[in-house]
Every structure is written in structure tokens, then in C-alpha cells.
Amino acid sequence: MILIMEVLLKNCKMEKYRKSVFVVTFSKTKKGIQYLLLKRKLHWKGWEFPKGGIDKWESEEESVKREVKEETGLNAKEIKRFDFRGKYRYKKKFSDRSGILGQSYVLYGVRVKKPFLGRIKIDKHEHTDSKWLSFDKAIKNLRWPNQKRCMKIVDKWLKDKGKETE
């Protein structure tokens, strides 16, 4: 039986995707909702929101808190899991992700407290800069369609949530 399983696994092209979280990070300010974008330098260049892999020993929510803290130095004040998942394939192979073809992700929205002057502690291994933007400006800065779609989902939820309190 074990031999049959080994043969099946060798002949079956199992696609391995890294499990991850997309974390649309925002703050409620006097100017309204502001979204935090990070300028990526590792694996590709461009603007994104915090995201990252889920470690084997942690839950999705623990991963969300860790990624926000690692990439921004900020603590999550409110966490919302969305019923939205996706998957994408890397355009090239990465030496630090051997055998991984891409990422599968689940979407989260996280409210943080925007620091005085908006400065955050970025993870300099992955990013070179950060900025706080309105939805209209943030969506234009994002490079990938899946990230734009995620930001639209979170923004709609925030607007709908705001209407409930009016």
C-alpha cells in the first residue's frame, strides 16, 4: 500500500501553494479612513498592503497580528476576517521558496492606530517605504488586480459599517 502511494505521489503533479494572509491595513483619522501601503523590494517592486505566510504552528489570526507587527511595528486594534480567498502563481521561481509555485490567501482587514506623523517601523528586508492614503489614491498605487479587489472589499465593508452607525 505504501509503495502504491509513493508511486502515485511521484506521478501526480501536486501543486504546492504557500498559505498566506492578505491584510488590508487602515486607520480611522480626522481625514477619514486611511490605508497603509508598503513599498515592496523583495521578489518584486511596487506598493502593497501587509501580507505574508502562515507559519505551521499559528492560526490565521495569529499570522495576521504577527505580519502587521513585523512589517509595520503596529499592533492590530480590530481584526475582521472576510469570506474571500484567492490563489496566484508566481511569475518566476524564488530561491527562498523552493518547490512553492505560488500563494493561496485569505483576506483580512485590520484597523491600527496611525502613529503621530504617520511614521511606522518598516521591515527593511522586504520594504523600502510606507505611506498612508485615501482609498482612491491607495487603489491607484496597488499593482496587482487581486490586491485591488481585496482593498475594494474592505473599503465597501467599512462604508457599509459607517452607514449602520449614522
Is 115 inside any structural domain? yes
Average pLDDT value for residue range 135-139: 97
Q: What are phi and psi of 103, to 5 degrees?
A: -130, 145
133 close to 35: Cβ distance less than 8 angstroms: yes
Is 61 inside any structural domain? yes
pLDDT band at 148 (very low <50, low <70, confident <90, very high): very high
1 close to 12: Cβ distance less than 8 angstroms: no
CA pair distance 66, 94, nearest whole angstrom: 23
What percent of the chain has pLDDT above 90? 50
49 close to 24: Cβ distance less than 8 angstroms: yes
Is 8 inside any structural domain? no
Could you give the number of structural domains in the chain?
Answer: 1
Phi-psi region of 60 (alpha: psi -120 to 50; beta: other; left: phi over 0): alpha
What percent of the chain has pLDDT above 70? 77
**pTM of the predicted structure, to 2 decimals:** 0.81
Q: What does the pLDDT read at residue 43?
A: 56
Is 4 inside any structural domain? no
76 close to 165: Cβ distance less than 8 angstroms: no
CA pair distance 84, 76, nearest whole angstrom: 20
Q: What does the pLDDT read at residue 44?
A: 56
Mean pLDDT of the chain: 82
Residue 131 structural domain: 15-165
Whether residue 141 has pLDDT greater than 90: yes
Is 38 inside any structural domain? yes
pLDDT band at 10 (very low <50, low <70, confident <90, very high): very low
Is 157 inside any structural domain? yes
- Sequence-distant contacts of 83-89: CB under 8 A, at least 24 apart: 84/150, 84/153, 86/22, 86/146, 86/149, 86/150, 87/17, 88/144, 88/146
pLDDT band at 121 (very low <50, low <70, confident <90, very high): confident
Residue among 126, 12, 109, 25 nearest 60 (CA): 109
CA pair distance 40, 2, nearest whole angstrom: 44
Query: How far is CA 20 from each of CA 51, 60, 72, 142, 156, rounded to the nearest angstrom?
Result: 7, 8, 17, 18, 22
Which helix (H) or strand (E) is 157 found in, with range?
helix 145-165
- Tens-place pLDDT, residues 35-71: 999 997 755 568 999 988 898 999 999 999 999 999 8
Please report, for the domain that includes residue 150, its CATH number.
3.90.79.10
